[in-house]
Structure 1
């Protein structure tokens, strides 16, 4: 699988470093709006092609799959450019700025019979299957409540506080807490309540979200650009609970019984960075002729985009490019 990356920032660097260590894929191109930046990036990772425009990359017949690593505000435009030129797409989270953009991207991919999938890397990790296996064993009984906290000291990064770039905690880190809840409780949400603290620029600096589900289940989620959190996801059941360390890259799972005694523990397998799983899954989906990856179904992406739209509506946050 021959791959190109659009955008030469921090995430792109991690992806590039990962791909050069993967034997079954070949990173052959990097595109930036600056040819100098693209050339510097290419030299750093021994990538043979550097492009000074995105249009140049999508016209290259050698490239099959393009990873989009640009700000949220650009995902829809970049994805459509790739799809219209016959390229499969692995798009950085959050998938789009809003539901309408996400729907447009997915519809176009399906029309073109091309893969498009959200690079929500935790969805592709082996630890997801471990979590599901532990839950299905009944060791903690019926899971009824979960909490997830993901907060970083990142409020100084311009792209995260600029409304023009679809900044804010929700689309950057809150989306992980929403995906964690989705993995455990599904996407049939019956009620959404929330609170927000905004930045001076008008995007969310930190938020608290409560989601309710059928059967009396509840998820309480927190994310922030201003503080540091434990990054834990905790699932509370009728016979015990389980603690997942780092919902942004599952590290350990610890299972406790009704007496709060540790009874089981699981460690993540060795990995390059954790990003390799989504690349492998995308390559496999393309090989199978699929337009989506089973690990990150289009429906889940769209359901979570709908929730984020509703949250921003509750908070009175609209990006300048939205009508």
Structure 2
């Protein structure tokens, strides 16, 4: 398989205000596109499609510029950058949204540079399905479309979301979203339902219980990296997606299991600090080390099941 040497992503770029048992932080770099791009740029060039306001920090711009991230499709508009505030429970099992200020993101319309419409892999971050479809319509039909979503869009834009899913090659979502989207608590059956809607592969994330894959490849439980001291789980899903897509970009789109392992390895670093602080300071060798550990755990599980 020819290397897929770049990824295009669309999503939010935000300034986060967050409180966890580990501390309280303000105006941290966040957003789905940010976490994804920082993670995927460990592997290949990432082309970010998004919008920020004129208040977006120099630090934010510098972080993008110092990594393998192309900002040609990043709009800078007069106004405020999307901002969000949240507080996690002490065990991180629940999160309360304290405020949401959409700012310039409220009227965001994705615009893809003509040089980028043939980007081999497209990741649609968990923004409104109509914006996701807008990006799909601007891209070449040969692109591999990988889609993320969230419970809000399942609640308020279900038909639009299913339209996007019908154009999707690989769907990423968590177990709660899979159940909400299909009405099926059995995740294997939920995966079958989602496969019938269009994707060739569905990856269902189960938090600390790992991930499962439905579709052309079937596997029940790919473990996560053990023993993580969690600081901030906000970017876990998006950085998982970044590692997942980054691995596929280098190794070919058929390497789903290893891509999940690498996604989990990246996410294990992300949650160990606030914002993108770990992602700024790790390299691909760090990711490979943790991926080897996860691979060993998976092999051990497989051997136990055979025994």
User: Could you state the TM-score of these two structures normalised by the residue count of structure 1?
Assistant: 0.37
User: Could you state the TM-score of these two structures normalised by the residue count of structure 2?
Assistant: 0.38
* Structure showing greater Rg: 1
